[in-house]
Amino acid sequence: MSGWNDPGAAGEPGGSFTETTQQSWFQRLGAALTGILIGLILLPVSGFLLFWNEGRAVQTARSLSEGAGLVQSIAPERPDPALEGRLVHAAGSVRVARAPRDAELEVEPPPGTLRLIRHVEMYQWQEQTSSETRTRLGGGQETVTTYSYRRVWQEGRIDSSRFRQPEGHQNPQPRHASRAFDAEGVTLGAFRLAPSQLQAIAANEALVPPGTTVDGARYLGQNPEAPRIGDLRITWRVARPEAVSVIGAQMGDGFGPYPTRAGDRLFLIEPGRVPAAAMFQQAQDDNRVLTWILRLVGTVVMFLGFLIIFNPLKVLADVVPFIGSIVGFGTGLLAGVLTFVFAPATIAIAWLFYRPLVGIAILAGGAFIAFALTRLRRPRPAQQGKPA
């Protein structure tokens, strides 16, 4: 069953499409049993991610510590043949032989620019979905999904062919795309810097080139006050530091990644005159942030794996929806307990290969959290409210 509301006028939301689907208890149970296979795949994937991440974090931390103890600061005016292949730190002013240029749109940045970034947004259709699912007596479900359409400014093209209701919501191919331009012939004293090495320097300075601009952007369309589908607005940003700092292996009159005994290949570059110690400290901080992000991702994947495996129990109990909600709470709690047991255990096992005391502490912390979760009192039926 479906229904369609007509699109609004230009500049207003583009209507909505409502679809109602029904699924019997047997269909839900079959899908839940099939989903067990997905859960059984997610569990080892999450375990591998958690284990690999800890090894990566330790290797990177050790490589950075090794590099901090080996690095030598040099004057960039002349390469020292005695330091060939050694880890060096150089900081100083940069010169640009050929600045980056956006020839397609005839934009030239100021002298000394290392990177030029073009950011293109297109006015286009975007599909949004919202669903409401009701479980009926007997275990069947009815899902009402509403697809709504609105016009937005967004980078890249949204594939309108995948919309549930593509008619009347087609997005054209943009005339221009976002792109990065790097300078050529960049030197730090007597050392050359390759374009690929400059990509680690962020372009944070806004550039407003001559031409038609609206709020700092170049507008390609008829009327910026009433944009149409396919109109573009383009902005540029540049990176033009007066000086840069580099840590890497001295290779002739250039720099390359330095292979550490710990296993990583070190190459660091930052804008400004930054001491070597500060650059290594920043890299260590970035490594810790990445480690925690991947830990969180691995833990969530493991939780979803357990939740999918236990889902058939909830579907079985959904024959009576009230009982199904209680079982669903229980399976969610069980998935959480198992996650807080196995995720820290996986992390601890990885750490035991490198730092045994930390591994033991992680195991103890995970066991404590799991024990605390098991002590949570389940809500009593009387507290859930009387059935309607």
- Give residue 255's pLDDT: 96
More confident residue, 9 or 4: 4
Residue type, 319: V
% of the chain with per-residue pLDDT over 70: 90
pLDDT tens by residue, 98-117: 999 999 999 999 989 999 99
Phi, psi for 213 (deg, rounded to 5): -130, 145
- Give residue 108's pLDDT: 92
239 forms beta bridges with 115
Q: Provide the b/e sequence for 229-247 (b: ≥16 CB within 10 Å).
A: bbbbbbbbbbbbbeebbbb
Query: CA-CA distance, 88 to 74, in Å (whole number)?
Result: 7
Strands 72-74 and 87-98: parallel
CB 141 within 8 A of CB 20: no
The answer on pLDDT for 207 being more than 80 is yes
- Give residue 26's pLDDT: 85
pLDDT tens by residue, 318-362: 888 888 889 989 999 999 999 999 998 888 888 777 667 666 776
The answer on pLDDT for 146 being more than 70 is yes
The answer on pLDDT for 380 being more than 60 is no
pLDDT band per the 50, 70, 90 thresholds, residue 387: very low
Q: Where are the beta strands (DSSP E) in the chain?
A: 2-5, 16-23, 72-74, 87-98, 115-135, 141-155, 179-182, 184-188, 191-193, 205-207, 213-214, 217-220, 232-239, 243-251, 254-256, 258-259, 265-266, 268-271
pLDDT tens by residue, 13-52: 567 888 888 888 888 888 889 999 999 999 999 999 999 9
Look at residues 355, 307, 316 and name the one whose alpha carbon lies nearest to residue 335: 307
pLDDT band per the 50, 70, 90 thresholds, residue 285: very high
- Give residue 350's pLDDT: 83
- Angle of helix 25-70 relative to helix 321-352, nearest 10 degrees, comes to 20
The answer on pLDDT for 235 being more than 90 is yes
Enter the DSSP assignment of 102.
B
Quote the tokens at residue 257. Answer: 């990644």
pLDDT band per the 50, 70, 90 thresholds, residue 153: very high
Query: CA-CA distance, 198 to 255, in Å (whole number)?
Result: 12
Mean pLDDT, the chain, as a whole number?
Answer: 88
| Mean local confidence (pLDDT), 40-66 | 94
Query: CA-CA distance, 5 to 19, in Å (whole number)?
Result: 12
